[in-house]
Chains A and B, each alone.
Chain A
Amino acid sequence: MEYTILILLLPFLSFLFLGLAGKWLSHRTSGLIGTTVLAAITILSYCTAYTYFTADRCADGSYATLVPYNATWLPLGHLNFDLGILLDPISVMMLIVITTVSFMVHIYSFGYMKGERGFQRYYAFLSLFTMSMLGLVVATNIFQMYLFWELVGVSSYLLIGFYYTLPAAVAASKKAFIVTRFADLGFLIGILIFGYYTGSFSFDFVNNLQMAEGTTPFIPCGIDKAIAAGGFILPTALTLMFIGGAGKSAMFPLHIWLPDAMEGPTPVSALIHAATMVVAGVYQVARLFPLWVTYAQDWMPIIIWVGVFTAFYAASVACAQSDIKRVLAFSTISQIAFMMVALGVCTEITTGHEHAGSIGYMASMFHLFTHAMFKACLFLGAGCIIHAVHSNEMVAMGGLRKYLPITHATFLISCLAISGIPFFSGFSSKDEIITACMAYSPAVGYIMTAIAAMTAFYMFRLYYGIFWGTENKELHTEHTPHEETIMTAPLVILSIITVGVGIYTTLAGFGLFEGYSFGSLISADGQDYRIHFDPSVASLSTIIAICSIALATYIFKGETQPVADRMYNAAPRLHRWAYKRFYMDEVYQFITHRIIFAYVSRPIAWFDRHVIDGFFNFLAWGTHTLSNNIKGFQSGRVQQYALVFLIGILVLILMIL
């Protein structure tokens, strides 16, 4: 497995090379370099995955955790900051996801970014991102994860701000970085607490959880010692880390950066803001999952309810957006929230068909995988559309199925997948999530089912809005929309994966044949878990999804949309609120600009200039003024001098007598 180091090194070198020498390279060369490197690491990842999963399982039935590399990068007192590569089922799965999507995006970008200024820079940043994201998933310890976590943050910043001459892109990139940075603060503090009390940052949990009994941090000495250290330290640390994850994964209320991040080039949105980076939060929780379940079971509802609310909120906002990328962005938020919820509802590690409390873990990872594929496909499709009509707004679209047939087909497949229609990949993963939720609590299960229905509705609203509906003929006759092979090829590949996985897992899930399923590779305790659908859940969600699609078809398919207009007229305010994303951005704007800038920073700056600096200036001014005021003392009259002389003597005499 030694070659895995290349998976990190190659994109890094490619980044350096393209970044430094890009100026002297042609677009084509630099694109080719980037893509070739990506192809290489994709192959390497597949090899890794193949080797890993075909190797023998351990005696306890789980896959071995391999650490081909691990070296101390920075010694931190008793602790060590290590860098290395850790291979276990989820990191290997993530390698596949990341390299696949990234490779697709690299190919796609040839067409999408053709002729753009800064083409080399774009590929350099993509390489940087890929490297960072891969480093994040193969992290051997929490600090390494944090390091790459920050790096993906900055790559995201750079890529969102790729069109740096556009004010909106600049603002969006800034916002994305700062919001996630703010969340990362929680992550960092969590790491610090974790590292201090466990004596290690490593993911090798079994050896490191030697929580000293009786230590009572955060509580001044002398207060009730009954609160044992282990009681709440670890949950606190985990929750703080979850804040970091929530920021990256755009959980409410830290989601505000993601919709704006759509200002970046669309392939970037597909790669970073749909398939890979935004699921880092989910991945982090999954990474720490044994800790959560074992030590912080009581605190897991935080994850659940944050997830549930976010899923609902994002879905409802998505119903009202008119910018297609925004719709997809909110859909992403909502889907990630599904994954979070799935992790949150777990209550045990042991898997097996009698242990429903552990399905969530597997389901979440499964959904992560399937979602990455179909959402990337959707975004890339959206990219084709935008490329064709030069607009993000649905108004500019409509009826595009004539012009963009391949895009249309793949988009439809992906929509079906996300809506949870059987034989498409989304169905299998979402079904498992709902099963897990149901097992935890029927309330959560039903809510999630309802949100799944909303998903189907808004996705088909989007689909009809783009490919059917009212056509903007004026615009389309001006430049006839068309599609390019280099851009459609990735779409096709991704939808093949979606469909292939969908068919395979659906058939396997319904027990039509016995074979490996996703759960065989990844499950909470690593055991071979064969997915079997719960018929009631499966049928319920399928029916609801079909109903939603039908509803959307009824409302949005036609050339004219009387129902939609009527609905809009019935509740214009609701639409407006949803359209404005329930004014969350304004709230943030208010807090940052009005409160922090105007009432904290500015007064502090004023205070510094006038009070603190003023004090020192006052000293100088005071000396000068004093000097001018006592100049009469030196009056030039010799008799006065003598008088002072005499008084001086008298005072001195009095002083010592």
Chain B
Amino acid sequence: MNFLSLFVLIPLLMLFGLWLAKEQKGIRTVMVVGSSALLALAIALTLKFISDRSGGATAEMLYTASFVWFEPLHISYSVGVDGISVAMLLLSGVIVFTGTFVSWDMCKEYFLWFTLLSMGVFGFFISVDMFMMFMFYEIALIPMYLLIGVWGSGHKEYSAMKLTLMLMGASAFLMLGIFGIFYGAGGQTMNVVDIANHTGGAHIIDFSKQCIWFPFTFIGFGVLGAMFPFHTWSPDGHASAPTAVSMLHAGVLMKLGGYGCFRIAIYLLPEAANELSWIFLILTATGVVYGALSACVQTDLKYLNAYSSVSHCGMVLFAILMLTTTASTGAILQMLSHGLMTALFFAIIGMIYHRAHTRDIRQLNGLMRIVPFLSVGFAIAGLANLGLPGLSGFVAEMTIFVGSFENADTFHRILTIMATTSIVVAAVYILRMIGKILYGVNQNPEHAKIHDAHWEERFAVICLICCIAGIGMAPGWLSELISHSVAPVIDNVKTVGHLISQSNPFM
């Protein structure tokens, strides 16, 4: 067994442990031990990966292992990681770890579903087989329904249902896209790397077929990545979800979308990506601005952050579609950064809501005086969100913009400039929110009595802030790690790029 499989095994063991655990104490022990093990594993993997890479391991995927699973259908249990998945695993490890602390008082069933969700996420990132990716993708989705529906707030049933159905609808598109790719490449292998490199029995997918299946695959993953106009599950879903679930969802689950778009849609269908990217570029660029502008007038903190996520995640897809190595590196960085800062945001919003029983911007006031720790954390999350240098958002956004600018035609330029405006709008809504809820004087006597964060909440918040600042201050290694893995994909796109005529009307 490959050690990457531990990422799936540990959650399984955790599920087993939770099943056995009796008291709250036992549950917490299982969760803390398990999530720490996952985080430790992710960190160890990162270190090992970097040292192996610098030691000369040049294969596209490292630590690959493959066991035939469904032999007649050429489905195998294949794992392997490249820099992108390593980064994503690290992110997931951090979010799951902190999520555990944030949901300290929850019951056993909650943690069962929570762990199942984590399993799906980790499994997705270690897989290199399309079937496995799809399976883990769905494993990660369905616990959301119960997590939101049972432990959520507000219109939880409606939101949970909407979220589940929209994402499952997306997976319908996705499944078809996967079939299309699999059979288009000859139906001999589900392995992503093999299909991309035309090895293991796979051949080049016809251009016309690529153009059919690209939209399916891209939309399939794009919905999870909150692509405009399929993003509407996100505000409701996030608003109703319990704190740690929002964190996990916005922090990790939405990243599955971007990762999938990159790993499957762009990687396996390079010619179609070249040909059709303009349609999705328009959509995502619209989404970037649209999400930001919508966020300006929201009154519910979670809605506000959800729309801001729409904007930021739109940026991820936007950057991927720019089809340059730098922009795609930026996209992955943006995934990391958005994952962390949004998790932090949701964590703190959840803590505030838990105490003040409202998330309405108009009713919260002067929290800085009452709960200074939370407020400072909130402000840091906000600043990261608006792209303050020294925090992670800046690094990601700048990489994206510089990368997008590598496309020298007017069409891409205009869209890039459009996307850059979002950082101004981000400043508007973030500062408006900070100004309204943290500053000023508290008017509500109810809120005057609320207490600041507990130790476990503080621990989670501090962990996240450290990660955000860490990436923000020392992004070089991460960027290097990612760009080495992004390069083969983009090179793949670029080499086919000049073979086909550019039928894009804007070019």
B187 interface hit (Cβ, 8 Å): no
Task: Given the known inter-chain contacts A151-B388, A165-B440, please indicate yes or no for A192 contacting B401, CB distance below 8 A.
Answer: yes
B47 interface hit (Cβ, 8 Å): no
Task: Given the known inter-chain contacts A77-B406, A597-B296, please indicate yes or no for A181 contacting B427, CB distance below 8 A.
Answer: yes
Q: Which of B256-264, B270-278, B336-344, B476-484 contacts A (4 or more CB under 8 A)?
A: B476-484
Q: What A residues does B435 contact at CB under 8 A?
A: 161, 170-171, 173-174
Q: What A residues does B236 contact at CB under 8 A?
A: 613
Task: Given the known inter-chain contacts A77-B402, A170-B435, please indicate yes or no for A147 contacting B389, CB distance below 8 A.
Answer: yes
Q: What A residues does B438 contact at CB under 8 A?
A: 164
B369 interface hit (Cβ, 8 Å): yes
Complex: how many Å from CA A612 to CA B283?
14
Taking a contact as CB atoms under 8 Å apart, the answer to whether B326 and A77 are in contact is yes
Q: What A residues does B165 contact at CB under 8 A?
A: 620
CB contact list, B443-487 vs A, under 8 A:
475-476, 479-480, 483
Taking a contact as CB atoms under 8 Å apart, the answer to whether A601 and B294 are in contact is yes
Taking a contact as CB atoms under 8 Å apart, the answer to whether B390 and A81 are in contact is no
Taking a contact as CB atoms under 8 Å apart, the answer to whether B420 and A185 are in contact is yes
Complex: how many Å from CA A607 to CA B475?
38
Residues 395-414 of chain B, each 1 if its beta carbon lies under 8 Å from chain A, else 0: 10011011101101110010
Task: Given the known inter-chain contacts A81-B398, A604-B294, A608-B294, please indicate yes or no for A75 contacting B479, CB distance below 8 A.
Answer: yes
Taking a contact as CB atoms under 8 Å apart, the answer to whether B402 and A604 are in contact is no
Residues 595-627 of chain A, each 1 if its beta carbon lies under 8 Å from chain B, else 0: 011001110110010001100110010000000
CB contact list, A156-207 vs B, under 8 A:
157, 161, 164-165, 167, 170-171, 173-174, 177-178, 181-182, 185, 188-189, 192-193, 195-196
Shortest Cβ gap from B289 to chain A (Å): 9
Q: Interface size for chain B: under 10, 10 to 19, 20 to 34, or 35 or more residues?
A: 35 or more
Taking a contact as CB atoms under 8 Å apart, the answer to whether A165 and B439 are in contact is yes
Taking a contact as CB atoms under 8 Å apart, the answer to whether A167 and B440 are in contact is yes
Shortest Cβ gap from A523 to chain B (Å): 32
Q: What B residues does A616 contact at CB under 8 A?
A: 162, 166, 232-233
Taking a contact as CB atoms under 8 Å apart, the answer to whether B421 and A601 are in contact is no
Q: Of A76, A154, A220, which is within 8 A of B402 by CB?
A: A76
Q: Of B298, B383, B410, B424, which is within 8 A of A185 by CB?
A: B424
B225 interface hit (Cβ, 8 Å): no
Number of residues on chain A facing chain B (CB within 8 A): 54
A218 interface hit (Cβ, 8 Å): yes
Taking a contact as CB atoms under 8 Å apart, the answer to whether B394 and A150 are in contact is yes
Complex: how many Å from CA A597 to CA B425?
11
B212 interface hit (Cβ, 8 Å): no
Task: Given the known inter-chain contacts A74-B476, A188-B401, please indicate yes or no for A181 contacting B424, CB distance below 8 A.
Answer: yes
Complex: how many Å from CA A393 to CA B406?
53
Task: Given the known inter-chain contacts A73-B475, A148-B389, A150-B389, please indicate yes or no for A195 contacting B402, CB distance below 8 A.
Answer: yes
Taking a contact as CB atoms under 8 Å apart, the answer to whether B424 and A178 are in contact is yes
Q: What A residues does B406 contact at CB under 8 A?
A: 77-78, 196
B20 interface hit (Cβ, 8 Å): no
Taking a contact as CB atoms under 8 Å apart, the answer to whether B475 and A74 are in contact is yes
Taking a contact as CB atoms under 8 Å apart, the answer to whether B394 and A147 are in contact is yes
Shortest Cβ gap from A138 to chain B (Å): 15
Taking a contact as CB atoms under 8 Å apart, the answer to whether B399 and A76 are in contact is yes
Residues 73-90 of chain A, each 1 if its beta carbon lies under 8 Å from chain B, else 0: 111111101000000000
Q: Of B329, B405, B423, which is within 8 A of A196 by CB?
A: B405
B417 interface hit (Cβ, 8 Å): yes
CB contact list, A43-92 vs B, under 8 A:
72-79, 81
A654 interface hit (Cβ, 8 Å): no
Taking a contact as CB atoms under 8 Å apart, the answer to whether B440 and A164 are in contact is yes
Q: What A residues does B325 contact at CB under 8 A?
A: 77
Taking a contact as CB atoms under 8 Å apart, the answer to whether A597 and B402 are in contact is no
The chain A residue sitting closest to B417, CB to CB, is A189
Taking a contact as CB atoms under 8 Å apart, the answer to whether B431 and A174 are in contact is yes
Task: Given the known inter-chain contacts A75-B479, A195-B405, please indicate yes or no for A185 contacting B423, CB distance below 8 A.
Answer: yes
A215 interface hit (Cβ, 8 Å): yes
Q: What A residues does B476 contact at CB under 8 A?
A: 72-75
Complex: how many Å from CA A534 to CA B401?
49
The chain A residue sitting closest to B474, CB to CB, is A73
Taking a contact as CB atoms under 8 Å apart, the answer to whether A612 and B410 are in contact is no
Q: What B residues does A613 contact at CB under 8 A?
A: 232, 236
Residues 295-311 of chain B, each 1 if its beta carbon lies under 8 Å from chain A, else 0: 01110000000000000
Q: What B residues does A652 contact at CB under 8 A?
A: none
Residues 230-254 of chain B, each 1 if its beta carbon lies under 8 Å from chain A, else 0: 0111011000000000000000000
Shortest Cβ gap from A49 to chain B (Å): 27
Taking a contact as CB atoms under 8 Å apart, the answer to whether B420 and A188 are in contact is yes
A143 interface hit (Cβ, 8 Å): yes
B366 interface hit (Cβ, 8 Å): yes
Taking a contact as CB atoms under 8 Å apart, the answer to whether A170 and B439 are in contact is yes
Q: What A residues does B401 contact at CB under 8 A?
A: 188, 192
Complex: how many Å from CA A640 to CA B235?
47
The chain A residue sitting closest to B386, CB to CB, is A181
Taking a contact as CB atoms under 8 Å apart, the answer to whether B388 and A150 are in contact is yes
B324 interface hit (Cβ, 8 Å): yes
Q: Footprint of A on B, CB under 8 Å?
A: 162, 165-166, 229, 231-233, 235-236, 290, 293-294, 296-298, 324-326, 329, 366, 368-369, 383, 386-390, 394-395, 398-399, 401-403, 405-406, 408-410, 413, 416-417, 420-421, 423-424, 427-428, 431-432, 435, 438-441, 475-476, 479-480, 483
The 9 tightest CB contacts between A and B, nearest first, are: A77-B326, A164-B439, A613-B232, A147-B389, A601-B296, A170-B439, A181-B427, A76-B402, A192-B405
Name 12 A/B residue pairs within 8 A (Cβ), A-sorted. A147-B390, A150-B394, A157-B431, A161-B439, A173-B435, A174-B432, A181-B424, A196-B405, A217-B413, A219-B410, A600-B293, A601-B296
Known: A79-B326, A164-B440, A165-B441. 6 other contacts (CB 8 A): A73-B475, A164-B438, A165-B440, A178-B424, A215-B408, A604-B294
Q: Footprint of B on A, CB under 8 Å?
A: 72-79, 81, 143, 147-148, 150-151, 154, 157, 161, 164-165, 167, 170-171, 173-174, 177-178, 181-182, 185, 188-189, 192-193, 195-196, 215, 217-221, 596-597, 600-602, 604-605, 608, 612-613, 616-617, 620
